[in-house]
Amino acid sequence: MTPSLGDLPSEEFRRFAHQLVDRVADYLEQIEKYPVLPDVAPGDIRTQLPSLPPTLGESMETILADVDRIILPGMTHWNHPNFFAYFSITGSGPGILGELLSAAFNINGMLWKTCPSATELEQVTLDWLRQMLGLPKEFWGIIYDTASISTLHAIAAAREQLMDLQIREQGLAGRAEVPRLRLYTSEQAHSSVDKAAITLGIGLAGVRKIPVDEGFRMQPKALAQAIAEDRRQGWRPFCVVATVGTTSTTSIDPVPEIAEICEREGLWLHVDGAYGGMAAVVPEMRHVLAGCDRADSMVTNPHKWLFVPVDLSAFYTRKPEILRRAFSLVPEYLRTSQDHQVENLMDYGVQLGRRFRALKLWFVLRYFGWEGIAARIRKHIQLAQDFAAWIDADPNFERMAPTPFSTICFRAHPPHMDEEEALNHLNERLLEAINGTHEVFLSHTRLHNRYVLRLAIGNLRTEEKHVRRAWVIIREKLKEVIPGIR
């Protein structure tokens, strides 16, 4: 019998799809059966996989069995309610269903014509989200994969705004008439700002890091001074990246003052609100985006704190025409008769092809609703404030930064133990012991050269009992690390 050349037969697809949905539902329902961190060493997964590609097809049964046997034991479970590391996220049920559908449709939304629904749903869902965040209606939105890529596009647009330099056409290298370009961000900014500078020919030397105050917020006075000094020395300042919710401590830069400076100096203001920006969905948290209405662009990540599966980053700008000018390049075979009437999203960035990401955002926004989403984010903030209060009340611990959102920075600091090196060593061992339980997962950062533990709450399954359990484990492990402590 000649094997058929078609796809997985429909009957089989149906059978395995039903099976898989059941497995996914079981997995999510029983997530606490799994250790949040796997007990594996580097290479453990790889050595179980054949080094040669399969010559003949294999049955779906065997493939699925290997998911259980090889893949699951090597997973760090981001769905686990005890995942408190980095920024905790959620691929919610409606988001997973939207993702399934977008995989099935498998469109490429590069042009309006290549899938009108994809372009138009993207525009509508991003406008809904804009309203939920309280941003001005001039803000035009587009979906990219990650905040890093959103910020790259922001800085590319900022560079394009320097029209006299004609960088799009002439490039930057080997041109004596082009001054060195300077971009400003705080010492606490995300590494994606540096990466964008590397990519765009600004170079790391073109990124000036502005010092922060005691709450880890950019100091506007220092920013203004840096710009003046740079101008005197022949640099061409062009962009400022402020952060709402920095990655280490979730501090909020004073955007109103920074916006003032940018307006005065004619600089593009981009706001990185990858995590913290989403809190503005909660009406009483709107203040975190104060001043952002004056920004030229902003990013916030629905895949971080809006329960949408990775990846989906929302980018807004009040100057889409500059973004378009930076990137639009239309080969003949991609011209359509609707080009004058529609937005072709390929014109607004580096990538040509685009997944139908808006579907999962649409599912999430509709299923939970604005109120439902706000209630969930509010709960995370409440849990974090409770945890911060427990830290503050315990003489063996101290909080290392303000807690404006749902992420707490703290360390063990037992009385009479004040030597910084010893404290760093202690906290490093403490984190190792905590994560060594495989029951909870926390991460760390370094602030003023101090080793600091971070506990971030952002998963829909995380309840008060999980945060309480984490607190019990942290205190138990401190007793193990320092025998005799009370």
Ligand X SMILES: *Cc1c(COP(=O)(O)O)cnc(C)c1O
| Closer residue to ligand X in complex, CB, 167/240 | 240
> What is the rounded distance in angstroms from the CA atom of residue 279 to the CA atom of residue 302?
11
CB closer to ligand X out of 112 and 305: 305
Instruction: Verify binding: residue 192, ligand X, rule CB under 6 A.
Output: yes
Q: Which window, 102-110, 144-152, 199-207, 423-431, contacts ligand X (CB under 6 A)?
A: 144-152
**Euclidean distance between CA atoms 439 and 35, whole angstroms:** 6
In this chain, which of 301, 317, 406, 427 binds ligand X, going by CB under 6 A? 301
Residue type, 101: L
Query: 3-state DSSP: the chain helix, strand, coil percent, rounded to 5?
Result: 50, 15, 40
What lies within 8 Å, CB to CB, of 249 at 6+ separation is: 188, 216, 400, 401, 402, 407, 409, 445, 447
Part of the chain binding ligand X (CB under 6 A), chosen from 5-13, 37-45, 243-251, 372-380? 243-251
Confirm or reject binding of residue 147 to ligand X (CB under 6 A).
Answer: yes
Minimum CB separation from ligand X for residue 155, in Å? Answer: 13
* Binders in 64-93 for ligand X, by CB under 6 A: 87
Task: Establish if 243 lies at the interface with ligand X (CB under 6 A).
Answer: yes
Residue 247 Cβ, how far from ligand X at the closest point, in Å? 4
Residues in contact with ligand X, counted by CB under 6 A, come to a total of 15
Q: What is each CA distance from 290 to 175, 216, 220, 257, 285, in whole angstroms?
A: 40, 17, 15, 10, 10
Instruction: Establish if 148 lies at the interface with ligand X (CB under 6 A).
Output: yes
Query: Does residue 249 belong to the site contacting ligand X (CB under 6 A)?
Result: no
By CB neighbour count within 10 A (0-12 exposed, 13-18 middle, 19+ buried), where does 106 fall?
A: exposed
- Burial class from Cβ neighbours inside 10 Å (0-12, 13-18, 19+) for residue 9 reads exposed
Cα separation, 34 vs 32, in Å, equals 5
**Is residue 310 within 8 Å of 301, Cβ to Cβ?**
no
Between 102 and 313, whose beta carbon lies closer to ligand X? 313
The number of beta carbons lying within 10 Å of the beta carbon of residue 30 is: 9
Instruction: Give min distance, CB of 275 to ligand X, in A.
Output: 4
Rule CB under 6 A: is residue 190 a binding residue for ligand X?
Answer: yes
Q: How far is the CB of 282 from ligand X (least distance, A)?
A: 18
> Which residues ranging from 352 to 391 are in contact with ligand X (CB under 6 A)?
none
C-beta closer to ligand X: residue 313 or 317: 313
If binding is defined by CB under 6 A, does position 217 make contact with ligand X?
Answer: no
Residue position matching structure tokens 């400022």: 240
Residues near ligand X (CB under 6 A):
87, 146-148, 190, 192, 243, 245-247, 272, 274-275, 301, 313
